[in-house]
Amino acid sequence: MSVSASAESKQLAGRGVGSILAILVFAEIIAAFETSMAVQLLYTPGDFFTSDLSQLVWVITSYSLVAALATGFVGRLGDQFGRRKILVAILLISAVGSVISAVAPTFGVLIAGRALQGVSGAVLPLAIGMVRSTFPAAKVSMGIAVVSTSALIAGAAGLLVGGLFLDYASWHYIFWTAAIAATLAAILVHLGIAREPRASLAATGRIDYFGGLLFGAAIASTLYGLTLSKNLGWTAISVLGFVIGGLIALALWIKWELRIQEPMINVRMFGQRKFALGMLATALIAVGPIGTMNILSVTIYRNPSSVVMADGGIVDLPIGLGLSATMTGLLGFITAAAAFAISPLVGKISARFGARMGLMIGSLLTIAGLVIVCLAPSSLPVVIGGMVIVIFGTGFLYSGMPTVIVECVLPEQTSTATAVNAVTRTAFQGVAASVVGLMLAFSPVVAGENTFVSLSGFFLVVGVLIATCVLTIVVVFFIPPTRAVNAQESDVKVSNLTLKD
């Protein structure tokens, strides 16, 4: 970027920082809403959602996998073609996906629409990149904090809004709302944010489309094979074909990424022991608490406490509070707000003791909360008390993940490291959604023609969650301590998810 172009961009942004920030926040609110709104669909009544839970979780898995791929591409696409143009395209594509899901005649078509919606998972890093490249230096940290915070609040609100639509309207309205809002956001971005000067765009380079598609195909194939195993068994040819084929594709992807000069993910960085340990901790947290708790909490809240049989008899179920979708969303929003309230404490602990300590505290809090929930998984006060502690723990974990990666690399490697971290985290959240669906469907309770989550399935998920937290503590313990960065430096580095400015 030339000095004159940079100055022009900064000056342009300086004249309307407030309006630009409002537009970017609105775009991220829509993206965060699309991320969380579909969790409520796992327990939606009606013939459309009668699939096994191991299949229903693909409304989350499909979104997360595409979001991971989009996150890996948007940085370079934004550098080459302009971030405003790419952001508008992403919002319009997600709107199309929402329309497809809203009018879907089958569950498979709805999944395809959700996959298209997944591109909105790249809105946050793209918006943060726009803040960093166009805002005056004195306002960059503030802009990043506002955009990032909006993602957390909107994600929690997605559960609540989704619950309101399910209880008082129809699940179709969730997708129609997302489509209209995404289209409006695209219009606002196009009209309200100036196009970047041509001189500020990077020279055209290679974009690793093949690597991205191979990575997505490998993960999707493996997870689909796991889903099929629920009904077909592990020895079925189709199951083995998808799982083994996915693993082979993953091996080929690693080989491909090592060959090319500009890979989607710089896998060479995993040769650095400190970085590899940081990424292992990220994977454990993403496949554990971050990727699992939304599904598990909705399962506990929405699963009925008892079922009335056709003969008038009542069958008590071991797991579930039988809450409405609206109450489930409200509880999710309240606990998320509580976690947000302690975010300053999380920041102070990370600044004082390093992100390692934050991850350890978060893991211990998550374990403690899960143990409390297990004491009485059908008691509302016990479950809510345990969930509040869990959400405090995940607050530490969510905040500490990118920070610990920054602490594991040299300053000049920050952009690349955080890009790898963002893609890995999102991909493993997709893995978590698929795997937790399988575990919750394990040895279900049969009541008439319906099946419900059993204690075996519930404890299996909780056991895996606790194991990932324990392993996170062990892995983080072996990461050498690093001097904590100051607040301003931390804000800028942690937020640089995928873009190189």
Q: Same domain, yes or no, for 131 and 245?
A: no
Number of separate domains in the chain: 3
Q: What is the mean pLDDT of the chain?
A: 82
Q: Same domain, yes or no, for 247 and 379?
A: no
In the structure, what pLDDT confidence band is assigned to residue 178 with cuts at 50, 70 and 90?
Answer: very high
Q: Among all chains, which residue has been given the structure tokens 């600044």? A: 351
DSSP string, 135-204: S-HHHHHHHHHHHHHHHHHHHHHHHHHHHHHHHHS-THHHHHHHHHHHHHHHHHHHHHSPPPPGGGSPPP
For residue 91, pLDDT over 90 is answered with yes
Q: Same domain, yes or no, for 162 and 273?
A: no
Q: Is 483 left (phi over 0), alpha (psi -120 to 50) or beta?
A: beta
The mean pLDDT value for 174-184 works out to 95
Handedness of CA 231, 232, 234, 238 (dihedral sign): negative
Report the C-alpha gap between 273 and 34 in whole angstroms.
36
- In this predicted structure, what is the pLDDT of residue 336? 76
Report the C-alpha gap between 483 and 21 in whole angstroms.
32
- In this predicted structure, what is the pLDDT of residue 61? 87
Percent of the residues in the chain that have a pLDDT greater than 70, as a whole number? 86
Look at 100 and 81; give whichever has higher pLDDT.
100
Q: Same domain, yes or no, for 460 and 499?
A: yes
Please state, as a whole number, how many other Cβ atoms lie within 10 Å of the Cβ of residue 444.
Answer: 16
- In this predicted structure, what is the pLDDT of residue 177? 93
User: Which CA distances in Å does 425 have to 80, 134, 212, 456, 471?
Assistant: 25, 27, 15, 28, 16
Q: Same domain, yes or no, for 83 and 229?
A: no
For residue 496, pLDDT over 60 is answered with no
- In this predicted structure, what is the pLDDT of residue 500? 34
Residue-wise pLDDT for 248-259, tens only, equals 999 999 999 888
DSSP string, 417-454: HHHHHHHHHHHHHHHHHHHHHHHHTSSPEEETTEEE--
Q: Same domain, yes or no, for 409 and 313?
A: yes
- In this predicted structure, what is the pLDDT of residue 483? 53
User: Is the overall model pTM greater than 0.85, yes or no?
Assistant: no
Q: Same domain, yes or no, for 197 and 236?
A: no
Q: Same domain, yes or no, for 185 and 215?
A: no
Residue-wise pLDDT for 2-34, tens only, equals 444 444 444 444 447 888 888 998 998 888 888
Query: Which two tokens mark 265?
Result: 């993910």
Query: Which two tokens mark 346?
Result: 């999380």
Residue-wise pLDDT for 328-341, tens only, equals 999 888 877 777 77
Percent of the residues in the chain that have a pLDDT greater than 90, as a whole number? 25
For residue 54, pLDDT over 80 is answered with no
Given 206, 221, 248, the domain boundary residue is: 206
Residue-wise pLDDT for 100-124, tens only, equals 999 999 888 999 999 999 999 888 8
Terminal Cα-to-Cα distance of the chain (whole angstroms):
8
Domain extent for 249: 209-259
Are 153 and 336 in contact by the 8 Å Cβ rule? The answer is: yes
For residue 426, pLDDT over 80 is answered with yes
Q: Same domain, yes or no, for 385 and 297?
A: yes
Q: Same domain, yes or no, for 249 and 143?
A: no
Residue-wise pLDDT for 126-164, tens only, equals 887 788 777 887 777 677 767 776 777 777 788 888 899
Q: Same domain, yes or no, for 219 and 289?
A: no
Residue 398: strand, helix, or coil = helix
CATH number, domain of 375, equals 1.20.1250.20
Residue-wise pLDDT for 186-225, tens only, equals 999 999 888 776 655 655 567 788 888 898 889 888 888 8
Query: Which two tokens mark 329?
Result: 């969303």
- In this predicted structure, what is the pLDDT of residue 43? 80
For residue 183, pLDDT over 90 is answered with yes
Burial-class residue 79 by CB neighbours within 10 Å (0-12, 13-18, 19+). Answer: buried
Residue-wise pLDDT for 456-486, tens only, equals 889 999 999 999 999 999 999 998 876 544 4
The mean pLDDT value for 318-324 works out to 87
Given 206, 232, 247, the domain boundary residue is: 206
The mean pLDDT value for 432-448 works out to 82
Q: Same domain, yes or no, for 157 and 100?
A: yes
**What's the alpha-carbon Rg for the chain, to the nearest Å?**
22
- In this predicted structure, what is the pLDDT of residue 187? 96
